[in-house]
Amino acid sequence: MSIISIDLYDCYDYIIGLSRTECTCYDPKGDFSLDYNTSYSGLYLDELEPLKSLNSIPDCTDDVWEVMDRARDNAVKAFVKDATKELLKWNKLRVNPYTGVIGRRTNTRDRGITNTYGGVHIICKDIIAGSITIKKIYTCFNFTGNVTVRVTDNLGNVYDTNILNTTEDTWVENDITDIELPLHSDLVDNVEYFIYYQLGAGQDARNNDICCNCSKTMNFCANRPYYLRSHSDTYRWAESVMVGGFTTNDISRFTDITYDYGGNNFMNGLNLEIDVNCDVGQVLCRNALNYESDPLAIATAFAVRYKAAELLADWIFSSPNLSYPKLINRENLEAEQLVWIKKYDELIQHIGEETDITKTDCLECKDNFEIGKGTIYS
């Protein structure tokens, strides 16, 4: 399909078209009647020699259009993968990925929460293209039943609500739909998240904490966030976020940046299984590609067209349809496919060398690495 639903690929929609040739029968998306001939870059797949012959298929009744559509989408995916790999030749990750759990299972007594609400407060280091994804939430309370846990931020966004199981004084693993939380917003200096619940009469959380002797290295303090320091592998997440417990009777001021909910090193009965990542792909395209003034955007469009043509040629070679050899000389197509592969590789190298890595906070230059000038598309 030409509109790829995965966010990573959104800005590549219609980067190239399939054909300018009128084909009223081709309408794979219903309302998207111009799907096959829309090209934001002005490039079209079937205008590469010898693929021009494909637009002469009578009445466009063949499945070639669907295959061209698929080749375009697969070419975008291949481009993102290959260009990201090339970027990592010249640069290194500034934000190290982390997968693990925030919070210990150690607890000795009830927390003694007397307020209506309790939970976890997360203050994020400002990392453009960074995110923390909550995969599971573990609960440990003094009652058996369930607790409703909500996730919101200091911008007024509500991300998710989950009804989680609890078993008295026992850790319970709760699978949830992944909750991806960005580490950056243009609207605030630091994004903050509140993962909280409401307690009933006689209900309390257990007193699990974040780490042993936290006060020495990971003391929750908004004025001196510990994500500015290095941490061991076990607490690598602490280089991207600061996490602490809080309790309150008033949740109406989450968006008030001057209001201090405080914070401590307890998790208030919750442990969070998380991934911390930085989307290197956003270095290539964070919002949209400007095909009018950005040379790398044009290079990207050419690269996608060459890769789509290569994939389409593979399909033609393997297709049992006898009409294609009549339309396209196999030897010519094989020769052109080698040219497309070479040009694609050259463009990937050029884009990897010339991309401005400061568009996000994911990458930094490798030490003692001289970046040369790559070959421009032709």
Closest to 182 in 3D by CA, of 1, 378, 361? 361
- Model confidence over 135-150: pLDDT tens digits? 999 999 999 999 999 9
pLDDT at 95: 86
| For the chain, percent of residues with pLDDT exceeding 90 | 63
Q: Which band of pLDDT confidence, cut at 50, 70 and 90, is reported for residue 258?
A: confident
Q: Which band of pLDDT confidence, cut at 50, 70 and 90, is reported for residue 34?
A: very low
Does the pLDDT value for residue 1 go beyond 60?
no
A 10 A CB-CB count for 175 gives 11
Q: Which band of pLDDT confidence, cut at 50, 70 and 90, is reported for residue 275?
A: very high
- Model confidence over 264-273: pLDDT tens digits? 899 999 999 9
**What's the Cα-to-Cα distance from 315 to each of 115, 297, 312, 324, rounded to whole Å?**
65, 27, 5, 10
If you average pLDDT over every residue of the chain, what do you get?
87
What's the whole-number mean pLDDT along residues 303-316?
93
* Contact assessment for residue 29 and residue 2, using Cβ atoms and an 8 Å cutoff: yes
* Contact assessment for residue 183 and residue 130, using Cβ atoms and an 8 Å cutoff: yes
* Contact assessment for residue 171 and residue 231, using Cβ atoms and an 8 Å cutoff: no
Tokens representing 168 are: 């008295």
* Contact assessment for residue 270 and residue 111, using Cβ atoms and an 8 Å cutoff: no
Structural domains in the chain plus CATH codes: 7-93+283-365 (no CATH), 108-268 (2.60.120)
User: Strand, helix or coil at 320?
Assistant: coil
**What's the Cα-to-Cα distance from 67 to each of 31, 72, 251, 269, rounded to whole Å?**
20, 9, 53, 52
DSSP 377: P
The amino acid sitting at 246 is F
Q: Which band of pLDDT confidence, cut at 50, 70 and 90, is reported for residue 286?
A: confident
Pick 8 or 83 by higher pLDDT: 83
Is cis: bond before 50, omega within 30 of 0? yes
């003034």: which residue's tokens? 293
Q: Give the span between the Cα atoms of 248 and 263, in whole angstroms.
A: 11
Does the pLDDT value for residue 67 go beyond 70?
yes
Q: Give the span between the Cα atoms of 328 and 51, in whole angstroms.
A: 7
Which ranges of 191-329 would DSSP assign to H, the alpha helix? 214-217, 281-284, 295-318, 323-327
